[in-house]
Structure 1
């Protein structure tokens, strides 16, 4: 899958949720906000929601590698 040019707001949501998850403080509301924006972005771009979510997680969680 090619790299996706994610909007800054979506990257920020995922970064915040990932940090909260790692610290054991992720809330249902925070996770739902990420999912809602992932779905919205998928609809905007015509991409699969699953592909968007997988690409977003890869971009945020494996950015250093």
Structure 2
């Protein structure tokens, strides 16, 4: 995987999606309860696609780098 620079806005969007996912899975499934996570995940996907096209990088590699960086940041905060 190439060394991809991750914009802070993408990192923050992914971290917000991660937090929404953690909250969603702690409750019984309902469309209303999971909507914040689904909306956040959609926002991340659109932003990653847009940034990859603008930067001329692999969308897949950018997405994986963003997810990894967000996961590491979340773990560092405990």
The TM-score normalised by the length of structure 2 is 0.70
- The alignment yields a C-alpha RMSD, in angstroms, of 1.6
User: Number of paired residues?
Assistant: 64
Q: Is the 8 A contact 2:2 2:61 kept in 1?
A: no
The TM-score normalised by the length of structure 1 is 0.81
Alignment-derived partner of residue 16 in structure 2: 16
Instruction: Give the structure with higher Rg (CA).
Output: 2
- 5+ residue gaps in structure 1? none
- 5+ residue gaps in structure 2? 25-33
